[in-house]
């Protein structure tokens, strides 16, 4: 849980925020929060970064949700800081697609190799190890090339851990395939909302009650809602005021 030392650090971050019974939500660039956090203080990271520009082009009666911009994603900084703030062995989940999967995993491996070259095997280590690719199979498919390409019906999640060996997964060993219905863009006014049931599964198998899950690209705050349901604490950051304003109620149960 958040100890008093960590609470005092978060209270001194100069950014709009809310401290809720289930955790903290910040409306700012996640650099401010990452740079304030001490080493080895987070039990789990689950996030869906803006790894590409995205706005749904489906013809619908609603106004389009706000566009997601890749320019908000600093991959080397994100990987470096995630590795630093996670506790040894803690798990790391990062949503991506087939195009960005090798780029993100490649950055994890580059930083791991650099750390080992500069520090040998000495602990504590601040690098991420790639473990597996998880797949979300959706009930619908994306658009794109409607005549000359297969219809995409999945998203990937990079699963890794801090250091060489991750903590044990809780419960029965899960499959790396997850079936769940896609969440409408207009349910939470966000274009890439993820199903709470998948987020809860990640949290359940990778943490214990009372531990802290960080989402540095919180978007519609789904990780916050999932954490509350299964008695974990959350630390969320979201740079867009619109998403922060529209979605904070999900983390305010």
- Dump pLDDT digits (tens) for 62-119: 455 444 444 568 999 999 999 999 999 999 999 999 999 999 999 999 999 999 999 9
The predicted pLDDT at position 87 comes to 97
CA–CA separation, 133 and 177 (whole Å): 9
At 133, which helix (H) or strand (E)? strand 128-137
Say how many C-beta atoms besides its own lie within 10 A of residue 42's C-beta: 23
In percent, the amount of the chain with pLDDT more than 70 equals 83
Q: Quick check: bond before 124 cis, omega within 30?
A: yes
| Residue 152 near residue 167 (C-beta atoms within 8 A) | no
- What phi and psi, each to the nearest 5 degrees, are found at residue 106? -60, -40
Contact 209, 199 (CB under 8 A): no
Q: What is the mean pLDDT of the chain?
A: 87
What distances in angstroms separate CA 185 from CA 14, 96, 221, 225, one per listed residue? 31, 18, 13, 17
**Domains of the chain and CATH, by start:** 4-251 (3.40.50.150)
Lowest mean pLDDT among 36-50, 57-71, 72-86, 183-197: 57-71
Region of 219 (left: φ > 0; alpha: ψ -120 to 50; beta: rest) is: left
Q: What's the pLDDT tens digit per position in 5-22?
A: 999 999 999 999 999 989
């Amino acid at each position: 849980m958040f100890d008093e030392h960590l609470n005092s650090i978060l209270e001194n971050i100069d950014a709009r925020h809310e401290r809720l019974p289930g955790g903290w939500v910040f409306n700012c660039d996640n650099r401010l929060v990452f740079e304030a956090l001490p080493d080895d203080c987070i039990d789990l990271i689950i996030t869906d970064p803006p790894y590409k520009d995205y706005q749904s082009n489906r013809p619908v009666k609603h106004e389009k949700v706000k566009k997601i911009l890749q320019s908000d994603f600093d991959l080397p900084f994100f990987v470096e800081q995630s590795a630093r703030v996670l506790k040894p062995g803690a798990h790391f989940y990062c949503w991506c697609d087939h195009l960005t999967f090798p780029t993100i995993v490649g950055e994890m491996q580059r930083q791991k190799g650099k750390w080992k070259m500069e520090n040998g095997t000495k602990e504590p280590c601040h690098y991420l190890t790639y473990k597996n690719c998880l797949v979300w199979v959706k009930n619908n498919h994306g658009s794109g090339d409607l005549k000359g390409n297969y219809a995409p019906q999945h998203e990937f999640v990079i699963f890794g851990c801090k250091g060489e060996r991750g903590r044990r997964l809780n419960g029965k060993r899960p499959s790396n395939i997850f079936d769940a219905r896609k969440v409408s863009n207009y349910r939470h006014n966000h274009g890439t909302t993820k199903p709470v049931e998948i987020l809860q599964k990640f949290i359940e198998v990778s943490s214990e009650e009372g531990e802290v899950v960080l989402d540095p690209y919180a978007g519609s705050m789904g990780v916050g809602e999932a954490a509350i349901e299964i008695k974990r604490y959350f630390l969320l950051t979201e740079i867009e005021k619109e998403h922060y304003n529209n979605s904070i109620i999900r983390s305010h149960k």
